[in-house]
Amino acid sequence: MGSKRHPMGELIREDRMPHIFCSGCGIGATISNIAEALTEIKKEIDLDKVAVVSGIGCSGRAAGYFKLDGFHTTHGRPIAFATGLKLGNPDLKVIVFSGDGDLSTIGGNHLIHAARRNMDLTVICINNFNYGMTGGQMGGTTPTRTWTTTSVYGNYETPFNLPLLLYACGANYVARWTSAHAHYIKKSFLEVLNKEGFCFIEVISACPINWGRRNKLRTGKDMVKFFLEHTVIQENPDPKDALIQMDSPILCGVFVNQDKPGYLRAMKEVLSPKLGIEEFRGDGKAKLPETEARAELKIPKPKQIEEVKIKMGGIGGQGIALLGLIMGRAASIFDGNEAVYTQEYGAEARGGASASSVIISSEKIDFPYIKSPDVMVIMAQGAFRKYRKEIRSGSTLFIDKDLVRPYDLPEGVNIYAVPATRIAEEVGRKLVANIVMLGFISALTDLFSLKAVQSALKMSVPKGTEEFNLKAFNAGYEYGQKVKRGEIA
């Protein structure tokens, strides 16, 4: 006897069979529908450029069953991850395959904004009316007056009408079918495979073990029969009529099919004339305007630099975030090193302690957060109180000498002080105290070249203020040079 092969073995990982889906579940069938569609057009599409992203939940297992690049992400975040994947490599066809809880409830914010942006993604939303993997709890799509483990007397909340929601957000394509409508699922998927913009296919899926059992639909056969008997398929249905209630038919069809520019094309149409570039991508293959700017500066190849962790602290409104951003741009865009930048705010935002962090290295940086900085920059006493415990022995501390009084520091901390705010007021505005501090740091360290930090400064401040900010930078730089020469203690 010959060995048995999965009928979709070309695209389904047979080594992962038997699958984990419950008997009668509609997810496996939908995976097969997508695999069948891809098999049909494999000569027209490069399958090496197709990626499947899933989240957490029953449907979140999908990425692991396709013989394609697959990514199993955190709960509620598959669309966010897929957005980054598409922006980083626009050549990819990115498919999101996940559940109603993952996409529309826990991940609802990502769903609506990806649709609003018309991000170039194809999203398959398996809607089985509950959190099937974790015990059958009620979710954002559970129909009113149906039972789940957390609505034991019947759900009294109004569920999402997903076609209406996605229509209102601006998606290019919105369709709904049930897992009993294999032909329509495949047809819709083929329609959107080469379509730009945000394309959303909702599949109402059988879940006999959890939602079905609690609603008198105990087998897959019962649920498929229910779908076939209680579904109305219309041409160009109105999404306002798509709310699912069990005492009325489930409306299916293609609710939206338009050709607005997708996110990538819209971005290109707006930015290309202004920036003079044709490609926007994050994989390093596009020539960015900063590339030519760096070449014009004739900055020599950066020297090897071991990983340096820099943290800046102040109060909201002092430009602490901008200070870190300029440092990161100087190190990465213009000096050609690796850099990562993060920022944090307290609940108070403006007026409360805030911080930003930059890590600079010649090598790839594995972790973006700083636990023990090599360099600490503090511009307010409140920030010193909050971040003092992170200052370690042997590190370097830069402070605004008029605003910060350090105390209880570990031994061996190198302190450099500059009256940054006072100098900024002398220059013209105390708001540029952060730029004065930037010049001071540049004079006393070799973290980035002078040309690089000046170029990063000019591209980071509001247009028309470049010369004023450079004046503030130079004032801080000159003060740092005097400290370096020993003219100022």
Residue 359 to residue 426: CA distance in whole angstroms: 32
H-type alpha helices, 336-465:
381-387, 420-427, 433-444, 450-460
Would you tell me which CATH number, out of the four given (3.40.50.280, 3.30.70.520, 3.40.449.10, 3.40.920.10), belongs to the domain 302-485? Answer: 3.40.920.10
Which CATH architecture does the domain made up of 14-263 adopt?
A: 3-Layer(aba) Sandwich (3.40)
DSSP 39-108: HHTTTTS-GGGEEEEE-SSSGGGGGGTBSSEEEE--TT-HHHHHHHHHHH-TTSEEEEEEEHIIIIITTH
Q: What share of the chain is helix, strand, coil (3-state, %, to 5)?
A: 40, 20, 40
Euclidean distance between CA atoms 28 and 13, whole angstroms: 12
The dihedral through the CA atoms of 367, 369, 373, 374 has a sign that is positive
pLDDT, residue 394, reads: 95
Gyration radius (Cα) of the chain, Å: 28
Question: Hey, which bits of 100-193 come out as E strands?
Answer: 121-127, 130-131, 137-138, 173-178
> Taking a C-beta distance cutoff of 8 angstroms, is the pair 332, 305 a contact?
no
Q: What is the C-alpha separation between 474 and 468, in angstroms, rounded?
A: 10
Residue 398 pLDDT: 98
Whether omega for the bond prior to residue 159 falls within 30 degrees of 0, making it cis, is: no
pLDDT tens-digit series, residues 262-284: 999 999 999 888 877 778 887 77
Parts of the chain with a pLDDT under 70:
1-4, 287-303, 346-351
pLDDT in tens, 197-223: 999 999 999 999 999 999 999 999 999
Q: In the chain, what are the domain boundaries?
A: 14-263, 302-485
Question: Which pTM was predicted?
Answer: 0.75
Q: Which of 206, 227, 173 is nearest to 30 (CA)?
A: 206
Task: Find out whether 343 and 455 touch, Cβ atoms under 8 Å.
Answer: no
Rounded distance, CA 10 to CA 196, Å?
Answer: 26
Phi-psi region of 317 (alpha: psi -120 to 50; beta: other; left: phi over 0): left
d(CA 323, CA 141): 45
C-alpha of 453 from chain center? 28
pLDDT of residue 1: 43
